[in-house]
Copies of this chain bind each other. A is one copy, B any other.
Amino acid sequence: MPKFPEPISNLINEFNKLPGIGPKTSERFVFYLLKQPKEEISRLSQVLENLKDKITYCSACQNISEKNPCYICSDQRRDKKVICVVAESHDMASIENTGEYKGLYHVLGGDLNPLEGITPDRLKIKELLARVKNDGVKEIILALNPDLEGESTILYLTKILKPLNIKTTRLARGLPMGSDLEYADEVTLSNALKGRLEI
């Protein structure tokens, strides 16, 4: 005999596929939804359909977008001579949140990770090179995660960007705001020392 009626166990299975969600949490989601008015469930279902139908990719920066080109690439006020290379769309959103950056972006779609089958041809590197060659770009900022995969991607990109003679920079590494010297790891602290600035 089934533990739950089929419509419920089907939804539990679907929620179970979401990252970090196990069967207990999916159950909790479903029972939460069952207590909501039916319109609430309809809305979630409708919004999911919209995600599928209305989201496309910007052919310039490869970012997810409603329009092609996306609102950043088509914004005339932005500096088209600087490209900030990020791994994923949400990294781009984090940088946008700072309000500090006024150039364009390029979303690679991941970091190099040969062990998991993510080789250079799986990332949007060809598209980056095409943009760099055609658009008179002055600077490329490699805003990748300071971890193993991010560092390999930076190394790889630096090597293929070098012959083009374009200024290539990376994000500063050092102590994060609000952190404590006592608890900082050795690599972070040695990066902070190496990158020290005069005041």
Contacts and interface: CB of A to CB of B under 8 A. Distances in A.
Interface of A: 1-8, 10-11, 14, 17-20, 25, 27-34, 38, 40-52, 54-55, 64-66, 71, 88-90, 93, 96-97
A157 to B, nearest CB: 22
Contacts of A18: 29, 32-33
A97 B66 CA distance: 46
Majority secondary structure of chain A interface residues (helix, strand, loop or mixed):
helix
A25 B91 CA distance: 14
Contacts of A33: 18, 48, 51
A24 to B, nearest CB: 9
Given A5-B65, A11-B47, A41-B48, 8 more contacts: A3-B97, A4-B93, A7-B51, A14-B43, A34-B51, A38-B52, A42-B49, A45-B49
A31 B71 contact: no
A156 B43 CA distance: 39
30 contacts: A1-B71, A3-B93, A3-B97, A5-B54, A5-B55, A5-B65, A5-B66, A7-B55, A8-B64, A10-B47, A10-B50, A11-B47, A11-B48, A11-B51, A14-B44, A17-B40, A18-B33, A19-B28, A27-B90, A30-B51, A31-B89, A33-B51, A34-B51, A41-B48, A41-B51, A41-B52, A42-B49, A45-B46, A45-B48, A45-B52
